[in-house]
Amino acid sequence: MDFELSDEQRDIRDTVRAFVAKELLPLEEDFLRLVREGGARLPRDEERRLRAKAREFGFWGLSTPEEYGGMALPAVTQSLIHIELAKTCVPFRFGGEADNILYGADAAQQEEYLKPTIEGERLGCFALTEPGAGSDAGAISTYARRDGDDWLISGEKTFISNGHDADYAIVIALTDRDKGAHHGATAFLVDREAGWTSSPISTMGSWHQPASLSFDDVRVPAGKVLGEVGGGFQLAMRWVGKGRYVISAHCVGIAERCLTMAVDYAGLRETFGRKIGRNQAIQWMIADSETELEAARWLALRAAWDVDRGADARHASAMAKLFCTAMVGRVVDRALQIHGGMGYTKELPLEGWYRAVRAMRIFEGTDEVQRLIISRDLLRGHTRIGGHFA
């Protein structure tokens, strides 16, 4: 058994680590000030400058196929990169990415949506969840009815990431009520100019507020159907499934940073004439965090490894997401506790992470949904206990 990274993986990881140290960490103080003043993201110019810089470093389109100019990196390598990027609260993603299901677009749609999205000229959002349909996505009621060659879409979507900024939405709507969502839903590419409206939803996290979207007989030509009529639910599940190992890697990165901060602070802060790190109460919090973090790291990388070897990664990804998202909550909480009153202030990124990571146990499948997947796989015999070691 070999737990070593390859030379290439190590080089890539180190380059991203250097990028984060040189370009992102120095912006943290300014970013935290911006958040204190009510901001939620870097100024657009700054984002553009950083993306251009990252592109100079060679980082652009991590998961994007080479034919679209991307790096087409293996999932494990992408995970290593996401771990590094998550070690700062400065919100930044490398450019050159598009939703995985957009690669199935036809030639005209690729020109209009996929390529400009990869280039950062257009921003899309993915709209599946509705006020009456979240975990039970099959209960969606947004309906698209035929009108000549066009479709007219009506309904409400909610909690849509980027929904207030996006200039188009990938909307999953019923097109055949009799067949239900699993066989009677279709994905549509819907420009904002077509007439849908959005309003931001204020949430517990300060960064990336989602939005609700409203469709009232929004007219969409037949050419805006993404994939097959009736194939929308399968596309939606592909979209939802792809991110779980990435979210897990994010959790590992955030937890690593929080634990580093906690260890540093425990070695500096003195009470009762000695460093707080000399107390067993603090040592145990550090030990538990390190142990859980290490377990999470291997679950996250194992899920990515399943993706790379072409295995069905759903089971491993569900376990990784379930464990990593809970782990990061506990580690941030302990790091905040170790920092005492300072941890509770907005001078440090800990309180922001404390709130932000909570969402990770909800979106792209709640804890309970991951547990349903894991137990169902075992109960139905799709997976054996012990996985590939069995």
Ligand X SMILES: Cc1cc2nc3c(=O)[nH]c(=O)nc-3n(C[C@H](O)[C@H](O)[C@H](O)COP(=O)(O)OP(=O)(O)OC[C@H]3O[C@@H](n4cnc5c(N)ncnc54)[C@H](O)[C@@H]3O)c2cc1C
Interacting residues with ligand X (CB under 6 A): 126-129, 134-136, 159-161, 203, 210, 359, 362-363, 366, 368-369
Residues with a catalytic annotation lie at: 364
CB of 314 to ligand X, least distance (A): 16
CB of 73 to ligand X, least distance (A): 23
Nearer residue to ligand X within complex by CB, 112 or 130: 130
Structure tokens at 169: 């939405």
CB-closest chain residue to ligand X:
134
The DSSP result for 315-371, as a single string, is HHHHHHHHHHHHHHHHHHHHHHHHTHHHHHSTTSSHHHHHHHGGGGGTTTS-HHHHH
- The whole-angstrom separation of Cα 67 and Cα 333 is 43
CB of 362 to ligand X, least distance (A): 5
CB of 262 to ligand X, least distance (A): 26
CB of 230 to ligand X, least distance (A): 19
Query: Residue 264: what residue type?
Result: D
CA-based nearest residue to 98, from 67, 77, 128, 129: 67
Residue 227 gets the label, from left (phi > 0), alpha (psi -120 to 50) or beta, of left
CB of 374 to ligand X, least distance (A): 13
Residue 98 gets the label, from left (phi > 0), alpha (psi -120 to 50) or beta, of beta
Nearer residue to ligand X within complex by CB, 285 or 328: 328
CA-based nearest residue to 40, from 90, 86, 4, 81: 90
- The answer to whether 90 touches 31, Cβ cutoff 8 Å, is yes
Nearer residue to ligand X within complex by CB, 77 or 129: 129
Nearer residue to ligand X within complex by CB, 50 or 130: 130
Under DSSP, the state recorded for 4 is P
Nearer residue to ligand X within complex by CB, 343 or 365: 365
* Helix, strand, or coil (residue 146): strand
CA-based nearest residue to 266, from 245, 285, 253, 247: 285
CB of 85 to ligand X, least distance (A): 18
Nearer residue to ligand X within complex by CB, 27 or 240: 240
Structure tokens at 118: 């990869």
- The answer to whether 57 touches 368, Cβ cutoff 8 Å, is no
Nearer residue to ligand X within complex by CB, 277 or 365: 365
Structure tokens at 47: 């984002």
Strand positions, DSSP E, the chain: 124-127, 143-147, 150-160, 168-174, 185-191, 197-200, 211-221, 225-226, 270-271, 274-275
